[in-house]
Structure 1
Amino acid sequence: MTPRIDAHQHFWRYRAEDYPWIGAGMDVLGQDKLPADLQPILHDHRIAATIAVQARSGREETRFLLGLAKDTPWIAGVVGWENLAVADLGERLSEWHAGDKLVGFRHQVQDEADARAFLESTDFNRGVALLQAKNYVYDVLVFEHQLADTQVFCARHDKHWLVLDHLGKPALREFAKDDAALKRWKKELLALGKLPHVACKLSGLVTEADWQTGLQQNDYEHIRICLDTALEAFGPQRLMFGSDWPVCLLAASYDKVAAVIADWAESNLGQDEQASLWGGTAVRCYGIAA
């Protein structure tokens, strides 16, 4: 039986200088977030394993997460960080010990001043190609306005799985104003979903809404629209659950995040399809032992 997996969560030992993205009004994140904090929550939700994803740039982040994974059996995989544009990337990758739980890499492309130029960089693309040759997943972190360039990038790298984080971060704050933002994001997501080597994490949506004023019923209605669109784009076999804990706590509890996905899944997916969402897709994409 495939274990239930949270395919996207984070850990850190908090220092403000290491996490400049944790700003004013984010006090819930400005403290250590470690496996002991998450474990009882996972137990309550019958989550047997997680994938810990980088939250800062630097090789020390990868070492930190792998160290936690070594001492924590239920951390099944680590998506770390590496400078993929360096000429000696092959040597750097070989430094990670065989048997480590390193399953992939990620960079905060969303924060690049020119995402298109970054995604078109010869050195970066050479690095991603090497990752795929070595069966590492690349997690794609972009905003919705960067999805068109992301589609071109993803089409270029079809030798292994690419995973879109947070549904490409739809601009949920704008959905209530008019439907232009929804239409724009939906068009790009459907195009990206046509690439069969791209999977999608149902994660991070609560913090794309206006969490500072508290999520309202219409926010959850917009989230369900996003989930419906993701199903249309990727089908039930390329979706995976991710809590985005502890970042989700800015807007909603782990319980609420999981409940939103569970309620939607029960209404839209068969039992086998739900099993894929809650673990099967993560096992298949990241090569995690079931």
Structure 2
Amino acid sequence: MRIDAHQHFWTLARGDYGWLTPELAPIYRDFGPGDLAPLLARHGIDRTILVQAAPTEAETGFLLDIAARTPSVAGVVGWCDFEAAAAPEAIARLSGNPLLVGLRPMVHDVADESWLARPALAPAFEAMVGHDLVFDALLRPQHIAALLTMLARHPTLAIVVDHAAKPDLASGEIANWRRGMSAVAAHPQVFCKLSGLVTEAGEDWKVETLRPVIAHLLAVFGPDRLIWGSDWPVVTLRVSYSRWFETATDLLADLTAAERDAVMGGNARRLYLSHRGRN
């Protein structure tokens, strides 16, 4: 099974996408299953993981409704307020929908770089463990230290780092990112998404711009903990869905067929679906 483990749908009229402004003209419109279906068919992608794009439970409900009527969507990564006193109850309620496979606070928009390390978030993380949900860590290199603190406190929480923690490919200054991701990868319950990289790479990016990042991720996580995702439609700020798919295929060309299959679907199925009884 080939799985796109990171894609979005949205309807602007919902009004809860604070980051999505007219300045982002290529993606400042509605996107739904009908827009994505031809791309999935073109590249032989069987299922997707639909990921939140607004920090509201209302949007999570909206995505779960889409998933319920869209066979290609295997699961939803939603949102809840991790800081709320009632977060464990909210997580229990949301997890009652079998299509919910994970949760994602928008960490990279939080002003406090140490937010993930706050002890007050522990009840929410423990509730995720109790309900077999994946924590999608949307962060930047400056948040890795807090992630490491959180990992030490919650060693059984399944985690995937979205967009490889957004290395600063535009400047090429990735030494701190390399050290941080090496430390994160030392925790065996952590996976990493190969997604969102071209958006960080700058307009003049080339495949070779990404190769050192992919090589490092393969070295520290191995092909059994890397997961491909498109980050569509955000990816179209830089390239087409097809161009990113082809670029990823090129970057993974030295893997065995079995390893490529794992990155392009098998690992996502194992993390999000199989051992949670979703699919």
Q: TM-score when scaled to structure 1?
A: 0.90
RMSD: 1.6
Displaced runs of 4 or more, over 4 A: none
2:39 aligns to what?
Answer: 41
Deviation of residue 58 (structure 1)? 0.6
* 1:132 aligned partner, one-letter code: V
Indicate the percent of aligned positions where both proteins have the same amino acid: 37
1:104 aligns with 2:102: yes
Deviation of residue 124 (structure 1)? 1.3
Q: How does 1:1-290 map to 2 (within 5 A)?
A: 3-15=1-13, 17-23=15-21, 25-96=23-94, 98-116=96-114, 118-175=115-172, 181-210=173-202, 214-217=203-206, 220-267=207-254, 269-288=255-274
Structure 2 stretches of 5 or more lacking a match?
none
Deviation of residue 147 (structure 1)? 1.4
* 1:20 aligned partner, one-letter code: G
Q: Are 1:119 and 1:125, in contact at CA under 8 Å, matched by a contact in 2?
A: no
Q: Are 2:125 and 2:157, in contact at CA under 8 Å, matched by a contact in 1?
A: no
Deviation of residue 23 (structure 1)? 3.5
Tell me whether 40-49 or 222-231 shows the greater mean CA deviation.
222-231
Q: Are 2:92 and 2:127, in contact at CA under 8 Å, matched by a contact in 1?
A: no
Q: What's the secondary structure of 1:287's corresponding residue?
A: helix
Q: Are 1:79 and 1:102, in contact at CA under 8 Å, matched by a contact in 2?
A: yes
Q: Are 1:105 and 1:138, in contact at CA under 8 Å, matched by a contact in 2?
A: yes
Quote the Cα distance in structure 2 between the aligned partners of 1:20 and 1:94: 27
Q: What's the secondary structure of 1:62's corresponding residue?
A: helix
Q: What's the secondary structure of 1:200's corresponding residue?
A: strand
Tell me whether 3-12 or 220-229 shows the greater mean CA deviation.
220-229
Deviation of residue 199 (structure 1)? 0.2
